[in-house]
Structure 1
Amino acid sequence: MTPPVTILQRRSDLVDPHDCTDAADDLSILSAICETLVRRGDDGFKPGLAERWSVEPDARRWRFRIRDGASFHDGSRCDARAVAQSLHRMAREDKGYTLGAPAVWRQYLGQATIAGDGLDLSIDLAEPMADLLDVLVQGFIASPDCLPTMDAGDMAAVAGTGPYRVETVRDGSVRLQPAADASLPPLVFQAMPDAEARAAALREGQADVATNLPFAADLGAATTRVETLNPVAIIFLMNAARGPLRDVRLRRALSLALDRDALVRDVMDGGATPLHGFVSPVHFGAGHEAAPARDPAAARALLGQAGHGEGLTLTVSCPTRLPDEAVRLTAALGAQLAEIGVTLEVTYHEDREAYAHQVRRKEIGDLAVFDSSPLSTYRVLVEKLDARVEGSWWEGYHNAEVEDLIDRGRRSTDDAARAAIYRLAYRVLQDDPAWLTLYNPIRVTGLRGHHPGFALPKDAVLDVTRLPQVTHG
């Protein structure tokens, strides 16, 4: 019997595949079990269950051809009607939940007409959305027969078309067996919340893979260390709905006071890269221009122009985890802002989910420590920055030029043209910042043995089909 490949993660739970999550621990498990219509490649989207697709010039009518011969783990055929049922479930009002935000997918698919005929799937949107694939890349497809059982709360019943099927699910442990290829090894995803403990277990040969390790961890000579830019943006939301930060001069002043390199060094021990715009460098249409250089004198001048030449006190909402360095980060930011005469009054929040709901309800101080996780430029713009939508994470920011660019982007089916539109939005948001953009963490993954060619995909989520222990036995 082939021994299992043991993968240590902070969390190892089998979550509902039709809820919205950017949590790498959850996605690594789900993507081993279920396929999506398309996969995100390093330079665009690649076929998944859909072998090809097309979109009409109106950016509303999408057509997909499902791969012939695909079958679910329960033996049933995967055709376009089966795919449509998963997409309908994904768009339900009670699904698509992410931390603090309900029905994320419904805003995109809720008014769509989704139908399947044989292997042909059609999605007709109510409004143009040239970036629909950004949503479908997380639309995990499961057998229609397992959906009622999942609705009853038994996620272990999920039957996908991926390379692995569920064997057992226990508290903090998910064991998967090969679905069809008997040469593949079993997988055991094991929870180990402490990152140092994960590093030690890998170093001592107790696991084959360990994810999300401390940047400074010594993994030993018998392991391979892989560093990947995490597209999650660590930011401070600025309350532009009420309070002093409605004034763009003050938002610019805070941005000009930032020393991102110092934050990376002092807060993250070097385990991050400075973030110069509202999305990471690996996002579609991200700009390449550096943010305006740190200029405390210009920041103080802007404070004076805004009527705060004698100083300004801002309130800050700060969770104690997610990001886990939030408390240290807030202290470091406070020291930087003190140099321009800004004082921070901090309120700490222990319950991270309750905190997310407060942010969604716009119940924050002048600043709020947060992260921005979707690897979709369009979703970030719509869900967080479009004042007409007032999405879950919108905090009062309004810029008519940005909103015009969003509309142009949603209608542009030409990838190059749409990327250019988003690069314009990137520059506008550097000049009129909605957030204090700080850094992208570096995700450290360790593998037992010597594997110099291994890399995580663009989304920094572990893809088990790339693991050398899986591909080479």
Structure 2
Amino acid sequence: MKNISKKWKRILPAMLLVLALAFLAGCGGETKPAGDTMVYGSQDYTAINPALYEHGEINLLIFAGLTAHDADNNVVPGLAEKWSYDKGAKTWTFRLRKNLTFHDGEPLTSADVKFTLESILNEKNGSEIVSNYADIKKISCPDARTVKIQLKEENVGFPEYMTIGILPKHLLEGKDLTTDEFNQKPVGAGPYKLTEWDEGQSITLERFDGYYAGKANIPKIIFKIVPDSATRLLQLESGDLDMAQLTPKDGKALMKKDSDCSVYEMDTADYRAIAYNFAGSKLFKKYPELANILSYGIDRQAILKSVLLGEGEIAYSPIQKNPFNDSSIEKFNYDPAKMKSLLEQDGWKKNKDGWYEKDGTELKFTIAAMSDDQVRVDMANMCAEQLKKEGIHATAENRKELDWAGQDACIIGWGSPFDADDHTYKVFTTGAGDNYTGYSSADVDRTLEAARSTDDNSLRKQYYSTFLHRMTEQMPFTYIAYIKANYGVNKAVKGVDKNVVLGHHGVGIFWNVADWKLER
């Protein structure tokens, strides 16, 4: 009995450890969300500031703009109750609602609006969205509730850009906006206020009782940092997450599960493309015509089927989901024979190794993709393999950070469900803030400038048609596909708008978050 007792003393701790691990795995190793708390599976954040950083779905919860969007992505009043435009003076006048406050109780006035716009325009801050506001000439505040914004040139889409979250001047004036602790302790006027940030783990938001549109229904929302889609899937199944965006593969997997979650396959204006570096790549700087030629070598249908599992549609235009789109433009349908014919007409010949070459330069380049985006990684790999088969020495590479100055090409994503000016003017005009590739076309510049300078929709449609036709003569990208956004949503979460067309990275799903309910 003594020997048996010693044996169990050795074995028992190991058995208990195994049982404990099994228990933790079974329940996700997490505490289930409380009845009044919704937990969202989110990408990580290092800073939250709508004036500096464009991509951040959390902005819609913490901040509020003068304008907002409704279910149809139309511009509607936000912090501003009304606005008007003086065409002769090129001046927009916004009238704020009464008794607006920030999360800290301080008044929100026209001075805060002026401060926000001036912060965006300040070159030292390096705002990612500065191109949207570059036409601002003068900002004045006749009184605490009125702000006048005079433009250098007309921009009929300007109210669209006033959805930008307003910053508190009293907390940021005189400080370095890029390094201030505000970026980790943001204070806005949105439906939720940040109460805790556990770096790399979670961001806790509690409803703001002073929200101009009324107190939100769900008392607390936690943005739990879960960057990996497969992990999100597991935590949705276990109940540790109430909601999360998933890859198409994981979305399909969740549909097959007997769980408490539904999967929403949501339409977006978010496209993926190969972006060529006309400024930093020796190859594409010397031979920019390759962007057009190579576009015939990409089998988009195969990528749509394999990478997106059929969820989405083949892309050919940056405004494909917009009423100003022109579907008659050249679509660069898959035609490898035409690609090779055009290469040979352009002076490219295959060398002894079977790769195309011209004047001693091999047609060799790398397509980069962000390593944390599996869809882009898979697209880069498929594009490279398709081109290789035809004699183009293309390779794919996963990177933690993109090298906009030195890379050859990358899988890029753009697209907006809002005014056609958004994600066109700032992406394709020469020298614009989001024109990362050095693309330049005088014709494109002129037509996009004209399109934003008239409120006559028939004229705007003509201008955008001209823009698209000029673009196809000198392609900036090889368009691949518009993607869908897959959201796993616990059935206890009510009020999510499944029909709204989402923007880049699926942003926009929180447009009506104050109306959501949690019924556990």
TM-score normalised by structure 2 residue count: 0.77
| Contact kept in structure 2, 1:263 and 1:332, CA below 8 Å | yes
Structure 2 residue aligned with 1:253: 293
Structure 2 residue aligned with 1:413: 455
Deviation track 1:271-330 (CA, whole Å, cap 9, x = no partner) reads 4422111x1533463333471432222222211210114334231241342643444323
Task: Go from structure 1 to structure 2 and tell me whether the alpha carbon gap of 1:182 and 1:467 turns closer, same or farther (over 3 Å shift).
Answer: closer
Structure 1 residue aligned with 2:313: 273
| Contact kept in structure 2, 1:14 and 1:174, CA below 8 Å | no
Cα distance in 1 between the residues matched to 2:251 and 2:217? 34
Structure 2 residue aligned with 1:381: 424
Cα distance in 1 between the residues matched to 2:421 and 2:65? 19
Counterpart mapping for 1:113-152 below 5 A: 113-116=138-141, 117-137=143-163, 139-148=164-173, 151=177, 152=180
Q: Is residue 256 of structure 2 the alignment partner of residue 216 of structure 1?
A: no
Percent identical residues:
18
Which amino acid in the other structure matches residue 488 of structure 2? G
SS in structure 2 opposite 1:218?
A: helix
Deviation track 1:129-164 (CA, whole Å, cap 9, x = no partner) reads 333234322x21133323258843133543322222
Shift of 1:400: 3.1
Shift of 1:391: 4.5
Q: Is residue 414 of structure 2 the alignment partner of residue 372 of structure 1?
A: yes
SS in structure 2 opposite 1:243?
A: helix
Which amino acid in the other structure matches residue 190 of structure 2? G
Counterpart mapping for 1:222-371 below 5 A: 222-241=260-279, 243=283, 250-277=290-317, 279-283=318-322, 285-289=324-328, 291-310=331-350, 311-312=356-357, 313-321=363-371, 323-345=373-395, 348=397, 350-352=399-401, 355=402, 358-359=403-404, 361=405, 363-365=406-408, 367-371=409-413
- Structure 1 range deviating more: 371-380 or 402-411: 371-380
Residue-pair matches, total = 453
- Structure 1 range deviating more: 423-432 or 113-122: 423-432
| Equivalent in 204, 218, 221 of residue 187 of structure 1 | 221
Q: Is residue 130 of structure 2 the alignment partner of residue 105 of structure 1?
A: yes
SS in structure 1 opposite 2:467?
A: helix
Deviation track 1:338-372 (CA, whole Å, cap 9, x = no partner) reads 344322255x36331xx2xx31x3x232x333333
Structure 2 residue aligned with 1:161: 189
Shift of 1:36: 0.7
Cα distance in 2 between the residues matched to 1:453 and 1:351? 32
Which amino acid in the other structure matches residue 313 of structure 2? T
Task: Go from structure 1 to structure 2 and tell me whether the alpha carbon gap of 1:411 and 1:468 turns closer, same or farther (over 3 Å shift).
Answer: closer
Q: Is residue 121 of structure 2 the alignment partner of residue 91 of structure 1?
A: yes
| Contact kept in structure 1, 2:216 and 2:513, CA below 8 Å | no
SS in structure 2 opposite 1:210?
A: strand
SS in structure 1 opposite 2:95?
A: strand
Shift of 1:402: 1.6
Cα distance in 1 between the residues matched to 2:495 and 2:49? 34
Greater Rg, structure 1 or structure 2?
2
Which amino acid in the other structure matches residue 60 of structure 2? S
Cα distance in 2 between the residues matched to 1:321 and 1:349? 5
| Equivalent in 192, 198, 201 of residue 170 of structure 1 | 198
| Contact kept in structure 1, 2:369 and 2:380, CA below 8 Å | no
Shift of 1:332: 1.4
SS in structure 2 opposite 1:217?
A: helix
Cα distance in 2 between the residues matched to 1:468 and 1:31? 13
Cα distance in 2 between the residues matched to 1:160 and 1:341? 54
Task: Go from structure 1 to structure 2 and tell me whether the alpha carbon gap of 1:423 and 1:38 turns closer, same or farther (over 3 Å shift).
Answer: farther
| Contact kept in structure 1, 2:303 and 2:379, CA below 8 Å | yes
| Contact kept in structure 2, 1:10 and 1:195, CA below 8 Å | no
Structure 2 residue aligned with 1:75: 105
Which amino acid in the other structure matches residue 173 of structure 1? S
Shift of 1:255: 1.4
Task: Go from structure 1 to structure 2 and tell me whether the alpha carbon gap of 1:284 and 1:323 turns closer, same or farther (over 3 Å shift).
Answer: farther
Which amino acid in the other structure matches residue 38 of structure 1? T
Deviation track 1:23-68 (CA, whole Å, cap 9, x = no partner) reads xxx22x2211211111234253111112222233368311111122
Shift of 1:262: 0.5
Cα distance in 1 between the residues matched to 2:375 and 2:89? 41
Q: Is residue 86 of structure 2 the alignment partner of residue 56 of structure 1?
A: yes
Which amino acid in the other structure matches residue 385 of structure 2? A
Task: Go from structure 1 to structure 2 and tell me whether the alpha carbon gap of 1:373 and 1:146 turns closer, same or farther (over 3 Å shift).
Answer: farther
Structure 2 residue aligned with 1:101: none
Structure 2 residue aligned with 1:465: 512
Cα distance in 1 between the residues matched to 2:159 and 2:124? 22
Structure 2 residue aligned with 1:202: 236
| Contact kept in structure 2, 1:50 and 1:64, CA below 8 Å | yes
Q: Is residue 52 of structure 2 the alignment partner of residue 19 of structure 1?
A: yes
Which amino acid in the other structure matches residue 218 of structure 1? L
Unmatched runs of 5 consecutive residues or more in structure 1:
99-103
SS in structure 1 opposite 2:154?
A: coil
Shift of 1:390: 5.8
Task: Go from structure 1 to structure 2 and tell me whether the alpha carbon gap of 1:298 and 1:19 turns closer, same or farther (over 3 Å shift).
Answer: same
Which amino acid in the other structure matches residue 380 of structure 2? T
Task: Go from structure 1 to structure 2 and tell me whether the alpha carbon gap of 1:168 and 1:317 turns closer, same or farther (over 3 Å shift).
Answer: same
SS in structure 2 opposite 1:113?
A: strand
| Contact kept in structure 2, 1:239 and 1:245, CA below 8 Å | yes
SS in structure 1 opposite 2:195?
A: strand
Which amino acid in the other structure matches residue 465 of structure 1? N
Q: How much is the aligned-residue C-alpha RMSD, in angstroms?
A: 3.2
Which amino acid in the other structure matches residue 439 of structure 1? A
Which amino acid in the other structure matches residue 472 of structure 2? Q
Which amino acid in the other structure matches residue 146 of structure 2? D
Shift of 1:182: 7.6
Which amino acid in the other structure matches residue 47 of structure 1? P
Deviation track 1:144-194 (CA, whole Å, cap 9, x = no partner) reads 323258843133543322222222122131111121138542111111122
Task: Go from structure 1 to structure 2 and tell me whether the alpha carbon gap of 1:150 and 1:94 turns closer, same or farther (over 3 Å shift).
Answer: closer
SS in structure 2 opposite 1:189?
A: strand
Task: Go from structure 1 to structure 2 and tell me whether the alpha carbon gap of 1:444 and 1:3 turns closer, same or farther (over 3 Å shift).
Answer: same
| Contact kept in structure 1, 2:37 and 2:218, CA below 8 Å | no
Deviation track 1:82-134 (CA, whole Å, cap 9, x = no partner) reads 32222222322233544xxxxx4277248531122232211112333333234
Task: Go from structure 1 to structure 2 and tell me whether the alpha carbon gap of 1:309 and 1:56 turns closer, same or farther (over 3 Å shift).
Answer: farther
